[in-house]
Amino acid sequence: MAYSEKVIDHYTNPKNVGTLDKSSKKVGTGLVGAPECGDVMRLQIEVDDATGVITDAKFKTFGCGSAIASSSLATEWLKGRTIDEAVTIDNMDLVEELNLPPVKIHCSVLAEDAIKAAINDYRVKNGLEELAFEEKGVH
Amino acid sequence: MLKFPIYLDNNATTPMDPRVLEAMIPYFTEHFGNAASRNHPFGWQAEEAVDYAREQVAQLIGADPKEIIFTSGATEGDNLAIKGVYEMYASKGNHIITATTEHKAVLDTCKHIEKLGGEVTYLQVKPDGLIDLTELEAAIKPTTILIAIMYANNEIGVIQPVKEISTIAKKHGVLFFTDAVQAVGKIPVDVQKDGIDIMAFTAHKMYGPKGIGALYVRRKNPRVKVTAQMDGGGHERGMRSGTLNVPGIVGFGKACELARLDMEADAKRLSVLRDKLENALLQIEEAYVNGNREHRLPHVANISFKHVEGEGLLMGFNKNIALSSGSACTSASLEPSYVLKALGLGDDLAHSSLRFGLGRFTTEEQIDYTIEQISNTVHKLREMSPLWEMYKEGIDLNSIEWAHH
């Protein structure tokens, strides 16, 4: 199976690899997946609490090229959006942008889950209630 | 000068030796006869070529030419051996013993046997990939008709104690079948010394063409028979019908002859290269060899690099180096290698493995390049790996409640 140009580009030059201070109140962390399943994503957002805008996003991913590309692209999309906008990012948008084949759709689902987990982590830290998300059930 | 891509997946298939191709060419055009045409020179020529190749094949494994049944490959050989014995020896019993690390062609055939009403025992292997002989012997019952244990494993290269297995089989009057695809032509395999009753092997894993293989079926002490699985003209002593693939057989014969002559030198050279590769890669932190290192094919290594995922790792260099991984991220099931799991490896380590299969045309320059590329990619991906970061912070990954999906 050949990888799309965009997947290769994100894999070769991943955007926003790194770690934010997870103890900070401004930072939301989402850790999803499992080593046994062959992919683990950690996605972090830093939010400006006055405006709700995501000022920074970082990721680290254990997984295949498509998983790395999905999380790299997700961090790019997150920066500059408000957390309310970020919630609407759909895994199929990632699939389309990266031209992921059907067997790799679960990578995009994981990235969407990571975004939502990071947002909820931020919300809980700031005294807001967790948002309920419906299961995608693709994995 | 290095030429790309470098091929290090010789357990999957090998390139054909140009000397094999040369031997085959006349049998496509000039000598195209059907080896079963008894009444004209075209048939005689084809038959003569097949007879000669049968001798070359037999000689490599210490067999009599009459004991060689040509097949389309080892999957067919595995099927014919197991189903053929099951049918032929039905009056004696219906129990087969195999192991969990066998090739799918054996395991799925055994599943088929179970559907037919047969009974199959799947032996677990020890953490080094070898079967436990005591367990094997204990599994034998009065209804046992066949022990099916591979010679050497395709993923980890571990060589099973074939002689000891055949001794146990003989003691209990049970037939011993071995899938020797990875071993024949690479290490000395002798059906007499090893006490093998039935053995499947194939040309394309030993620098021969695809689509041709053989099943060794013992004729003496004991005389073994398998029920044909295809009806037709009664070729190959009635055990495998179908017009013989003459060019393929000629190529297979040539490949066997070359293997017999080159094996010792090839094995010596490749074990030096393999050890160089393995030792260099083991310098990387948290890298582990999978399977027994002593009882192992000289050209195979299987290594896990903890906290990086195999397919992601391959992507770092797979334009230039052809390798395979125990990670199953590409397969629909998302299950990692069942062989590595059978060794007791956690799924995470199984996902992190690479399989190296060196071959006759592998050079030291290629190995040096591979070492460099893999080391660089492992380091790069670990910088990106949340698991590596946690490991470095001293967090026990088992203490985390992962969301299994």
Summarised one tens digit per residue, pLDDT across range B147-158 is: 999 999 999 999
Distance from CA of A49 to the nearest CA of B (A): 26
Distance from CA of B155 to the nearest CA of A (A): 19
pLDDT more than 70, % of chain B: 98
Q: List chain A residues with CB under 8 Å of B402.
A: 33-36, 40
Q: List chain B residues with CB under 8 Å of A34.
A: 402-405
Task: Kindly give, in sequence order, each residue whose CB lies less than 8 Å from that of residue B107, ignoring residues fewer than 6 positions away.
Answer: B98, B100, B122
Q: Yes or no: say if B359 and B10 are a contact pair by the CB < 8 Å rule.
A: yes
Confidence of residue A1 (pLDDT cuts 50, 70, 90): low
Q: Which amino acid is at B159?
A: I
**Residue A139, pLDDT score:** 46
**Residue B347, pLDDT score:** 82
Q: Is the pLDDT of residue A46 over 90?
A: yes
Please state the rounded mean pLDDT for residues A88-92.
Answer: 95
pLDDT top residue among B345 and A79: A79
Q: List chain A residues with CB under 8 Å of B334.
A: 37-38, 106
Q: How far apart are CA A76 and CA A93, in angstroms?
A: 13
CA dihedral B368, B372, B377, B380 (to 10 degrees): 170
Mean of per-residue pLDDT scores for chain B = 96
**Residue B330, pLDDT score:** 47
Strand-pair category, B213-217 with B198-202: antiparallel
Please state the rounded mean pLDDT for residues B203-207.
Answer: 98
Distance from CA of B377 to the nearest CA of A (A): 10
Task: List, for residues B95-147, the tens digit of each pLDDT value.
Answer: 999 999 999 999 999 999 999 999 999 999 999 999 999 999 999 999 999 99
Nearest residue on chain B to A103, judged by CA atoms? B332
Please state the rounded mean pLDDT for residues A65-74.
Answer: 96
The secondary structure of B95-134, three-state, reads EEEEECCCCHHHHHHHHHHHHCCCEEEEECECCCCCECHH
Confidence of residue B401 (pLDDT cuts 50, 70, 90): confident
Distance from CA of B204 to the nearest CA of A (A): 23
Q: Yes or no: say if B206 and B15 are a contact pair by the CB < 8 Å rule.
A: no
- Flag whether residue A95 sits within 8 Å of chain B, measured between CB atoms: no
pLDDT top residue among B373 and A1: B373
Check CB contact under 8 Å for B334 and A36.
Answer: no
Nearest residue on chain A to B308, judged by CA atoms? A62
- Flag whether residue B395 sits within 8 Å of chain A, measured between CB atoms: no
Nearest-5° Cα angle at B57, B55 to B62 = 85
The single residue of A5, A8, A37, A126 carrying the catalytic annotation is A37
Confidence of residue B405 (pLDDT cuts 50, 70, 90): low
Q: Yes or no: say if A50 and A79 are a contact pair by the CB < 8 Å rule.
A: no
Q: List chain B residues with CB under 8 Å of A40.
A: 386-387, 402
10 Å CB burial of residue A87 (0-12, 13-18, 19+) is: middle
Please state the rounded mean pLDDT for residues B62-73.
Answer: 98
Element (H, E) at B265: helix B246-281
Q: How far apart are CA A113 and CA A30, in angstroms?
A: 8
Task: List, for residues B249-279, the tens digit of each pLDDT value.
Answer: 999 999 999 999 999 999 999 999 999 999 9
**Residue B403, pLDDT score:** 74
Confidence of residue A133 (pLDDT cuts 50, 70, 90): confident
Q: Yes or no: say if B246 and B33 are a contact pair by the CB < 8 Å rule.
A: yes
- Flag whether residue A17 sits within 8 Å of chain B, measured between CB atoms: yes
Count of CB atoms situated within 10 Å of the CB of B308: 28
- Flag whether residue B405 sits within 8 Å of chain A, measured between CB atoms: yes
Q: What is the DSSP string of B182-226?
A: TTBTTB---TTTTT-SEEEEEGGGTTS-TT-EEEEE--SSS----
Complete edge-to-edge strand list for the sheet that includes strand A53-62: A27-34, A39-48, A53-62
Catalytic residue status for A107: yes
pLDDT top residue among B99 and B396: B99
Q: Is the pLDDT of residue B12 over 60?
A: yes
- Flag whether residue B345 sits within 8 Å of chain A, measured between CB atoms: no
From the candidates A40, A106, A136, which should be mutated to test the interface with B, based on the most B CB atoms within 10 A? Answer: A40
Complete edge-to-edge strand list for the sheet that includes strand B324-325: B287-289, B300-305, B353-357, B324-325
Please state the rounded mean pLDDT for residues B351-368.
Answer: 97
DSSP state of B381: H
- Flag whether residue B386 sits within 8 Å of chain A, measured between CB atoms: yes
**Residue B348, pLDDT score:** 82
Q: Is the pLDDT of residue B290 over 60?
A: yes
Task: List, for residues B314-327, the tens digit of each pLDDT value.
Answer: 999 989 999 999 87
Beta-bridge partner residues of B187: B184
Q: Is the pLDDT of residue B353 over 50?
A: yes
**Residue B109, pLDDT score:** 98
The single residue of B138, B329, B334, B384 carrying the catalytic annotation is B329
Q: List chain B residues with CB under 8 Å of A43.
A: none
- Flag whether residue B385 sits within 8 Å of chain A, measured between CB atoms: yes
Q: Which amino acid is at B273?
A: L
Check CB contact under 8 Å for B308 and A62.
Answer: yes
Check CB contact under 8 Å for B403 and A106.
Answer: no
Q: Is the pLDDT of residue B286 over 70?
A: yes
Task: List, for residues B223-259, the tens digit of each pLDDT value.
Answer: 999 999 999 999 999 999 999 999 999 999 999 999 9
Check CB contact under 8 Å for A62 and B309.
Answer: yes
Least confident of A17-21, A115-119, A131-135, B12-16: A131-135
DSSP state of B331: S
From the candidates A64, A66, A109, which should be mutated to test the interface with B, based on the most B CB atoms within 10 A? Answer: A64
Reported pTM: 0.94
Q: With a CB-CB cutoff of 8 Å, which residues 29-88 of chain A face chain B?
A: 31-42, 60-65, 67-68
Task: List, for residues A107-129, the tens digit of each pLDDT value.
Answer: 999 999 999 999 999 999 999 99
Check CB contact under 8 Å for A17 and B383.
Answer: yes
Q: Is the pLDDT of residue B289 over 50?
A: yes
